[in-house]
Structure 1
């Protein structure tokens, strides 16, 4: 059967993704990222001014990991803050603070200056940072002094999930919504759908909404209807 066309219209399946489940380190499907998760958990307790850098493609789980790290830091009684690149200029390293700064490749000049100051001040403040971007440090379009300092971090590339991992991701997130996904639904999505996790989670959101609004169980026919509304030409049967 032919694969589904790409790119898809993004109004429903990609950009309007609003997770209904808590973002935690425990519900991140690790796949081949066990060492990364171990280092991230250690960083939550670091008070030595160190920083950790994660990089990976869109949909790899960067934001999930950073949001979860900041939330778990706060839950453990340590101040933690998640900042997007647009908030980068507001970054200030305070005592004992853990900062999770996302999409650093998108930082403007003020954001880069704020990050440079934070990297210098982190040790004295007994704080730590977790940084994330879409490229390895040497390829980041940032100030040379910022890029050099980031390169001194412990660096991990977020490894993409294989099909088994994506299946676990779908089933786990569906169960958190009170949905049981039959094997044929998971197989259909993995065989015919786009391969990135963000798209799969968007499909799950749309499928959940369709099930609720139409008072119908989640089945393969319902999935096909949901996808037909967002994809052309017609899907395979």
Structure 2
């Protein structure tokens, strides 16, 4: 199996960029270091743990690397776990940047752990920057291969702290601004209080509002938002 035969799910989300990501104070150092890694600077091996924003940030790294004429690949391990590990990871040492998500999905699986240990060694030799990510911190994962556990201990580690409600509202406003939409505090909070609080749901509502706003040539006011949200 070649890289071209991997699932289409491995393709990057076009909206998962650093420009589209609101950076709260708690994540400023983390995002700065991820940007450096994407450009081939800073620490070669990085491990990111946490939930919200993890996938976005890893794909943002790849987008930034590619825009600077580097070779990069994002692989969500949970979505390729039924493929042969060595085949999925074949040739990654030729990349400038490799981002592997969902590390916890393959923890405890001997073939994957051996493959990841080999990837670490190949990246070390080739100079490929490697960013790993998982919901759990590595010490909470059931990694059976002692050599892999040892290597993970040497990664620069960062924890994604969950955003507060006010930060989530600011993230919604930031995404709206990137789309050229004006979203004042009152309207942003109105949206936030009336839909599911996860970013996927919030941004889906924003997409609908953007579409209807363009068609009807109306600004995002509370009456207009209430009308659109009643349809969706």
The interval holding the TM-score normalised by the smaller chain is 0.7 to 0.9
Q: After superposition, what is the alpha-carbon deviation per residue over 1:116-158, rounded to whole angstroms, capped at 9, x for unaligned? A: 2101221111112011111111122443433443232111111
> CA 1:115 to 1:179, structure 2 compared with 1: closer, same or farther past 3 Å?
same
C-alpha offsets along residues 178-199 of structure 1, whole Å, 9 cap, x if unaligned? 3222332112134454433333
TM-score, structure 1 normalization: 0.74
**What is the CA-CA distance between 1:48 and the residue it aligns to?**
9.4
Alignment of 1:137 onto 2:138:
yes
Which range moved further: 174-183 or 61-70?
174-183
Equivalent position of 1:188 in the other structure: 190
Matches within 5 A, 1:68-147: 68-85=60-77, 86-87=79-80, 89=85, 90-91=88-89, 92-95=91-94, 97-107=96-106, 109=109, 110-145=111-146, 146-147=148-149
Name structure 2 gaps, 5 residues minimum.
1-11
Contact 1:55 1:135 in 2 (8 A): yes
Equivalenced residues, count: 210
Q: Which residue of 2 aligns with 1:209?
A: 211
Higher relative contact order, structure no. (Cα contacts within 8 Å, ≥ 6 residues apart): 1
Q: Give the CA deviation at 1:100.
A: 0.7
Name the one with the larger helix percent: 2
User: Is residue 33–residue 158 contact of structure 1 (8 Å, CA) maintained in 2?
Assistant: yes
Q: Please state whether the residue corresponding to 2:133 is helix, strand or coil.
A: strand
TM-score normalized by the length of structure 2: 0.75
7, 11, 20: which is aligned to 1:27?
20
Distance 2:188 2:176 in 1: 11
Distance, in Å, in 1 between the alignment partners of 2:48 and 2:103 is: 10
Matched-pair contact (CA < 8 Å) for 2:35–2:64: no
Q: Structure 1: 5+ residue runs without aligned partners? A: 1-17, 231-237
Query: Which residue is equivalent to 1:51?
Result: 45
Find the counterpart in structure 1 of residue 5 from structure 2. Answer: none
**Cα RMSD (Å):** 3.0
